[in-house]
Amino acid sequence: MKRRVSGENGAWSDKSDVFSYGVILLGLIAKRVFDLKKANDLGELNAVYIWAWMENEEPNKKPQCSLKSDQYFDAGDGVEITKLAMRCVEDNPERRPRMKEVVCCLRELNVVKKSSHVVLPKMSVGSSGGDGMESATDLVEYNYEVLASFTGGFCEENFIGDSLYGKVFRGKIQQGWKTQEVVVKIWVNCGRFATAPELQKSRLNNEIKLLTNSGLKGHPNLVKLIGFCCETERLGLVYELKPLDTLEKLILHDDFTWLARIKVALEFACLLECLHDQQLLHRSIGAAHLMIDQAFSPRLFDFPMLVGEGFGEISLREYDLGSDGYIDPLISLTGAWSNKTDVFAFGVVLLGLIAKRVFDLKKRKELGILNYVHIWAWTECGKPQSKNFRVKEKPQSKLWGMFKKHKESQLIIKSLVDKSLENAEHFNAGDGVEITKLAMRCVDEYPEQRPTMKEVVRCLRELDVVKKFSCFVLPKMSVASSGGVVPGLT
């Protein structure tokens, strides 16, 4: 039987592409490719579509599939996908399906329905509305049961830690023979941070917007978002990340080196500088909200109180919320959030990095007020008497009272670097004093005395360890003078 080959009349059309696709599909299922080197051996059967035509013309013989022993193979799928491929390479273009029909047919395969989270391509979500989702691209929408399957049913073994409004787990996505490491964050109501479902959905919405549709998209110190779940009162996000752990847990580790700590401090400072340049306030900075990846780079993964350009305003009900141990004492008095409150929180993170200290709710009774890292630092260095500081209209907070009790002596700046780090490789005594001075400026009682994040970055770049090991310590991206992100920092 002589068949007319597509295109021999010179009439190219979308059906010509369908023909080519059919050849690729046949190759995928039959493990065959056209090979010029085998032209003499195979003759016309070297052309995959001719081989398929010949196979189908022999009665009682079906195309072979050496993949049928695969765990995901379904015999019915084998027949249906073969039918589809043969329709695509029909000699009459008018009888070939359009690619839209091809996609519909492939979506009906059992393997696609059963393993949609692995097989289905990443689709655009939100542009057509639904649940108020902001525009986002290249995301997969998962159901809650799939999120549970990624994390072993949200088991304790995969639990990483708490976010401000939920919990975070390690997870794995099986993609054929490959395994993708992920982090899954789910929203749950807990303690004083319990909140209405519509507010939680708004927070999820904001995070998707920040990570996929803002000037910070693709920043190397933000997590990469690959999917979401937005069911009624069941919300979650999936990040592509294989973390070492949260910064909060790593801070106390002896094998978390001085060089790695400086790298984390500088990269995180650059990220906050970028946030502030775009008129955004994070407002819930804390070591528990930073993941450290395999390259010892910090990845910020929680943004529940983000406000600023395009992200809404501060809710009156949230004026005194934030991450315990990292909140500027003035917030409980004035409710006046600003970029300097983020600087204060960064200062606490920086003190924790160099002094190997973290705020631990479990040690409140044991350590008392010294559980607060910044109060411990104030106590170690002392603070000058504040002669002109007065706060009217609001009662003084307990935390502010704690501060006043420990700020009578003159300020004496000494290195607060932990002794075990002072003996570490690459440590420089001058760096210890300078970074302590910087951290203490960040947690100064007066916001106007604190540096901007741009100044923090500049000071960190002047450290001896940064100059000597710039290839390891300096971040991959920097902030241009115009406020945008530019690559190529060396």
pLDDT for the residue 429: 92
Of the candidates 214, 239, 390, the one whose C-alpha atom is nearest the C-alpha of residue 306 is 214
Question: Is 52 part of any domain?
Answer: yes
Q: Quick one: 431 and 345 in the same domain?
A: yes
Of the candidates 443, 375, 448, 384, the one whose C-alpha atom is nearest the C-alpha of residue 412 is 384
Range of the domain at 416: 245-385+409-473
Q: Quick one: 183 and 226 in the same domain?
A: yes
Q: Quick one: 326 and 433 in the same domain?
A: yes
Question: Is 191 part of any domain?
Answer: yes
Distances (CA, A) of 297 to 223, 273, 327: 11, 16, 24
Residues 295 and 259: their CA atoms lie apart, in Å, by 12
Whichever domain contains 364, its CATH number is 1.10.510.10
Q: Quick one: 29 and 58 in the same domain?
A: yes
Dump pLDDT digits (tens) for 254-263.
889 999 999 9
Residues 114 and 311: their CA atoms lie apart, in Å, by 37
Among the candidates 51, 80, 114, a domain finishes at 114
Whichever domain contains 195, its CATH number is 3.30.200.20
Q: Quick one: 75 and 187 in the same domain?
A: no
Cβ contact 475:487 at 8 Å = no
Instruction: Tell me the two tokens of residue 44.
Output: 């016309």
Instruction: Tell me the two tokens of residue 406.
Output: 């420990």
Distances (CA, A) of 3 to 6, 8, 55: 9, 11, 14
Question: Is 342 part of any domain?
Answer: yes
Q: Quick one: 309 and 449 in the same domain?
A: yes
How many other CB atoms are found less than 10 A from the CB of residue 58? 8
Q: How many CA atoms lie within 13 A of 283 on its CB side?
A: 23
Cβ contact 186:235 at 8 Å = yes
Question: Is 443 part of any domain?
Answer: yes
Q: Quick one: 234 and 250 in the same domain?
A: no
Q: Quick one: 260 and 342 in the same domain?
A: yes
Question: Is 287 part of any domain?
Answer: yes
Q: Quick one: 229 and 294 in the same domain?
A: no
Residues 227 and 422: their CA atoms lie apart, in Å, by 43
Q: Quick one: 151 and 297 in the same domain?
A: no
Q: Quick one: 295 and 309 in the same domain?
A: yes
**Neighbour-count burial of 104, counting CB atoms closer than 10 A to its CB (0-12 exposed, 13-18 middle, 19+ buried):** exposed
**Neighbour-count burial of 412, counting CB atoms closer than 10 A to its CB (0-12 exposed, 13-18 middle, 19+ buried):** exposed
Among the candidates 217, 240, 263, a domain finishes at 240
Question: Is 121 part of any domain?
Answer: no
pLDDT for the residue 293: 93
pLDDT tens for the 490 residues of the chain, in order: 444 444 456 678 888 999 999 898 988 888 888 766 666 665 666 688 888 887 776 544 444 555 666 667 788 888 898 999 999 888 889 899 999 899 888 888 888 877 655 555 544 333 333 443 444 557 898 999 999 999 999 999 999 988 888 899 999 998 777 889 999 999 886 544 556 667 778 888 888 888 887 778 889 999 999 999 988 778 999 999 999 999 999 999 988 999 999 999 999 999 999 999 988 888 889 999 999 999 999 999 988 788 877 776 555 455 446 677 888 887 767 767 888 999 999 999 999 999 999 887 767 667 677 778 888 898 888 654 343 333 333 344 445 454 554 444 445 678 999 999 998 888 999 999 999 999 999 999 889 999 999 999 999 999 999 998 877 776 654 433 333 333 323 3
Among the candidates 219, 240, 261, a domain finishes at 240
Q: Quick one: 190 and 267 in the same domain?
A: no
Which residues lie across from 173 on neighbouring strands?
A: 180
pLDDT for the residue 313: 58
Give the number of domains in the chain.
3
| pTM (global) more than 0.85 | no
Q: 247: Cβ–Cβ under 8 A, 6 or more apart, which residues?
A: 264, 287, 288, 290, 291, 292, 298, 349, 353
pLDDT for the residue 354: 95
Question: Is 333 part of any domain?
Answer: yes
Question: Is 462 part of any domain?
Answer: yes
pLDDT for the residue 407: 47
